[in-house]
Chains A and B, each alone.
Chain A
Amino acid sequence: MTRRPSLWRQFYNSVFRHRFDDTPRNRLLQITSNVFLHLHPATIRRHGLRLRYTWGMGGLSFLMFLVTVVTGVILMFYYRPTAAFAYIDMKNLQHEIPFGMIQRNMHRWGAHAMVILVWFHMLRVFLSGSYKAPREFNWGVGVILLTLTMLLSFTGYLLPWDQLARWAITVGTNMAAATPFLGHQGPGAGLTGVTERNDLRALLLGGPQVGDPAILRFYVLHCIFLPMIAAILMIVHFWRVRKDGGISGPPHVDEEPRPGRAPARSHGFRPKTED
Chain B
Amino acid sequence: MTERQPDETLPDAVTTWPHLVRIELLATLAAMVLLTVWSIVVDAPLEEAADPNRTPDPSKAPWYFLGLQELLVYFDPWIAGVMVPLFIILGLLAIPYLDRNPNGAGYYTLRERPFAISAFLFGFLGLWVLPIVIGVFCRGPGWNWYWPWEAWDIAKTPHLTNINLTDLLGIPASLGGVLVLGWYGLALLFWLWQRKSAGLQRLGGARFAITAFLLLTMAAIPVKMALRLLLNVKYVWVTPWFNV
Interface residues of A (CB under 8 A from B): 24, 27-28, 30-31, 37, 40-49, 51, 53, 56, 59-60, 63-64, 67, 83, 87, 90-91, 94, 101-102, 104-110, 113, 115, 119, 122-123, 126-133, 135-136, 139-140, 143, 146-147, 150, 153-154, 157, 160-168, 170-172, 174-180, 183, 185-188, 209-211, 246, 248-254, 267-269, 271-275
B10 within 8 A of A: yes
Interface of chain B residues 25 through 71 with chain A (CB within 8 A): 27-28, 31-32, 35-36, 38-40, 42-52, 54-56, 59-62, 64-65, 68-69
Q: Contact check: which of B17, B39, B109 meets A30 at CB < 8 Å?
A: B17
Contact A180 to B78, CB < 8 A, known contacts A48-B20, A115-B64, A129-B105: yes
Interface residues of B (CB under 8 A from A): 1-3, 5, 7-8, 10-21, 23-24, 27-28, 31-32, 35-36, 38-40, 42-52, 54-56, 59-62, 64-65, 68-69, 76-78, 80-83, 89, 92-93, 95-97, 99, 102-109, 113, 117, 120, 124, 241-242
The complex places the Cα of A249 from the Cα of B108 at a distance, in Å, of 10
Whether B77 contacts A102 by the Cβ 8 Å rule is no
| Closest 9 pairs between A and B when the two form their complex, measured CB to CB | A175-B81, A178-B77, A136-B96, A105-B39, A166-B50, A187-B242, A30-B17, A108-B44, A129-B104
What's the A-B contact tally at a CB cutoff of 8 Å?
A: 262
Q: What chain B residues lie within 8 Å of A42 (beta carbons)?
A: 5, 7, 15-17
Do most interface residues of chain A lie in helix, strand or loop, or is the interface mixed? helix
The complex places the Cα of A27 from the Cα of B80 at a distance, in Å, of 53
**Smallest beta-carbon distance B75→chain A, Å:** 10
The complex places the Cα of A24 from the Cα of B6 at a distance, in Å, of 10
The complex places the Cα of A47 from the Cα of B168 at a distance, in Å, of 58
Whether A154 contacts B62 by the Cβ 8 Å rule is yes
Whether B17 contacts A27 by the Cβ 8 Å rule is yes
Q: Contact check: which of B2, B27, B64, B106 meets A275 at CB < 8 Å?
A: B2
Q: Contact check: which of A63, A162, A174 meets B28 at CB < 8 Å?
A: A63
Whether A163 contacts B49 by the Cβ 8 Å rule is yes
Contact A105 to B11, CB < 8 A, known contacts A27-B3, A27-B18, A186-B78: no
Pull 9 A–B residue pairs with CB atoms less than 8 Å apart, ordered by A: A40-B21, A41-B16, A44-B13, A63-B32, A106-B36, A132-B99, A135-B96, A166-B51, A176-B81
Q: Considering residues B19, B64, B96, B97, which has the most beta carbons from chain A within 10 angstroms of its beta carbon?
A: B96
Q: What chain B residues lie within 8 Å of A127 (beta carbons)?
A: 108, 117, 120
Whether A109 contacts B61 by the Cβ 8 Å rule is no
Q: What chain A residues lie within 8 Å of B102 (beta carbons)?
A: 132
Q: Contact check: which of A163, A179, A252, A272 meets B48 at CB < 8 Å?
A: A163
Whether B46 contacts A90 by the Cβ 8 Å rule is yes
Q: Considering residues A27, A153, A177, which has the most beta carbons from chain B within 10 angstroms of its beta carbon?
A: A27
A42's nearest neighbour on chain B, judged by CB, is B16
The complex places the Cα of A121 from the Cα of B92 at a distance, in Å, of 14
The complex places the Cα of A48 from the Cα of B49 at a distance, in Å, of 48
Q: Contact check: which of A106, A132, A272 meets B96 at CB < 8 Å?
A: A132
Q: What chain B residues lie within 8 Å of A122 (beta carbons)?
A: 92
Q: What chain B residues lie within 8 Å of A251 (beta carbons)?
A: 105-106
Q: What chain A residues lie within 8 Å of B89 (beta carbons)?
A: 143, 147
Whether A209 contacts B23 by the Cβ 8 Å rule is no
Whether A105 contacts B43 by the Cβ 8 Å rule is yes
Q: What chain A residues lie within 8 Å of B68 (beta carbons)?
A: 175
